Structures are given as structure tokens and as C-alpha cells.
Amino acid sequence: MTYVGDTGEINATYRPADEVEILNRPTVRNAFVATGDVTNGEFGMFQYDMAPQAGGPAAHFHRTFSESFFILEGKVRLFNGDKWVVASKGDFLYVPQGGIHAFSNSFDEPSSMLILFAPAPPREKYFRAMAEIAASGRQMTAEERTEFLASHDQYMV
């Protein structure tokens, strides 16, 4: 229990859509709906929209946060550490800390999902950095890539 008061508080945070940071990349659109600075570090929630055939990250895990995926539109391939499943609107995948996972849009239609991180790591920094690296054309060595990913609590398997 983190709230011990008896009467409740007026402390909700409202964010209109025009205050949500959008990061547009060639095949992916990230909307940083709720970052840790908005949720007191309790969770982060992003909308992740993928163009047709956008691909996605290879199998990986995180040590300090769980990750959940809720499909809003289209189809997304989700890897649960054991097998790939085709998820569609309304489907959900929870990945605890240390859980191996991946996702991909390998279909000919766009897709959209919510990603929830708990507690809230600053994942927006990771996505911004990935966009900057891609836009610059910079090629990282395997060692640089491993170090970069580890600095964002992402470990490839």
C-alpha cells in the first residue's frame, strides 16, 4: 500500500493528445503517451504504430522492467520466448522482467499496439537514440551496439 490517507486526493494527471510527444520514423510511429515523469515512475505507456512489413526487434530481455503488449489494430507477430504467435486486435502479451520476447509486423497491413513498461524506465530515450542513429546512417560495431543496448537495459539473445 502506497497511499495511507483516509480521504483521497485530487491528484490525477490529464494529458491532451497535443501534449503527447510523437516520434516518427520511416516505418514506425511512437507516441509517448505516459512516460515515467508523468506517472511518478510507476509505468510507461507508448502507442507503437507499424507500417506494413515494418519488422521489429530480435529476441531480447530486460532486467529491470516488465513489458506488456496490447494489440489495437492489425496483426503483430509476438515472440513469447518459446514460440511466435500472430496477435490481433484485443490480444495481450505480458513479459515479466527477464522474459525473452520480440515483436514484428511482417504483414501487408499496418498495425498498432500499446506497450506498457513497469516500473517506468526512460524508454523514450532509447527510441529517440535509435531514431537518431538510424537517421545519421551511423553503423555501430557489435561491441558498440551491445554497450548501447545494455545502457538501455536491453539484452539480445
Give the CATH number, domain containing residue 24: 2.60.120.10
Q: What is the pLDDT of residues 32-83, one digit of tens each?
A: 999 999 999 999 999 999 999 999 999 999 999 999 999 999 999 999 999 9
The answer to whether position 3 is within a domain reads: no
* Geometric angle at alpha carbon 130, from 113 and 73, rounded to 5°: 10
Does 8 reside within a domain? no
* DSSP annotation of 5: -
Q: Is residue 9 part of a domain?
A: no
Does 144 fall in a domain?
yes
Q: List Cα–Cα distances, 2 to 95, 121, 153, in angstroms.
A: 24, 20, 26
109: closest CA among 53, 55, 69? Answer: 53
Q: How far apart are alpha carbons 133 and 129 in whole angstroms?
A: 6
Task: Give domain status of residue 6, yes or no.
Answer: no
Q: What is the pLDDT of residue 1?
A: 81
> Looking at the domain assignment, is residue 103 inside a domain?
yes
Digit-coded pLDDT (tens) for 82-134: 999 999 999 999 999 999 999 999 999 999 999 999 999 999 999 999 999 99
User: Has residue 75 been placed in a domain?
Assistant: yes
- Among residues 66, 116, 112, the alpha carbon closest in space to that of 90 is found at 112
Q: Which of 60, 91, 85, 57 is nearest to 73 (CA)?
A: 91
How far is Cα 26 from Cα 65, in angstroms, rounded to an integer? 27
Number of structural domains in the chain:
1
- Say if 99 falls within a structural domain: yes
DSSP structure class, residue 26: S
* Structural domain containing residue 106: 17-156
